[in-house]
Structure 1
């Protein structure tokens, strides 16, 4: 792996084991409308639904990571691969832990809060 640094200012805001997303998806969410649209999709099969977390989008934005189908719900790792005055490249690594083949299949998602940045942000996925 390239020289990567930890994404220190990342906070896990919300996670759940069922996203209704079969494939890996990563997305930056910069406004409440997009966040609500994602949670409406998740909540189609949930009773009660997951409430929309309160985020001050003038200060923070979200990184949404849906890992697709997997056994268990291991949290992915986020790290900064490259950082310059104009760009930041964030790598999202899908972690594989102990033998989880006997665990239930889930489609987990993770929402991370990061400070708003004017830099171009590129998200890269990497499977372990």
Structure 2
């Protein structure tokens, strides 16, 4: 009976240790930064070249969604954004193979600019399918210049 209790205690402690390692890894990636929120990420942006778009009004946001929803039935829903406090950053990485994934993280912030970094990570999937991925991110409304750097 004593050995069973020790065995169960050992298993419970080992499970908790694995959970903490995963949490620390997620935080180090930078995706969980409270200044940026991923709203939508999809594989077809309609753009073959890398581009970043800052959207600060509802009309521009609806225009962007009408562009990406041309070939989708039903289309992606337009998110509700309070443009008095928030703005949208859309990043399209252009044409790439589907065995890659993009992640947006904060790189640096100064008095007059905010530097974001797009990192393209290779996945363990073998695929030669071409996609045009994009991400729609919500940021607090700032007057700083936003620079998006891409690392492949």
Per the normalisation by structure 2, the TM-score is: 0.69
Matches within 5 A, 1:35-54: 35-54=61-80
Q: Which has the higher strand share?
A: 1
How many residue pairs end up in the alignment?
A: 122
Runs of 4+, deviation exceeding 4 Å = none
Which of these residues, 142, 146, 149, is aligned with residue 117 of structure 1?
142
SS in 2 for 1:13: strand
Cα root mean square deviation, aligned: 2.1
2:95 corresponds to 1:69: yes
2:126 corresponds to 1:90: no
**Is this contact kept in 2: 1:39–1:52, CA < 8 A?**
yes
The higher-RCO structure (CA 8 Å, 6+ apart) is: 1
Deviation, structure 1 residue 13:
0.6
Q: Which residue matches 2:12?
A: none
Structure (1 or 2) with the larger CA radius of gyration: 2
User: Please, which runs of 5 or more residues in structure 2 have no aligned partner?
Assistant: 1-28
Which of these residues, 52, 64, 77, is aligned with residue 26 of structure 1?
52
Q: Which has the higher helix share?
A: 2
Per the normalisation by structure 1, the TM-score is: 0.81
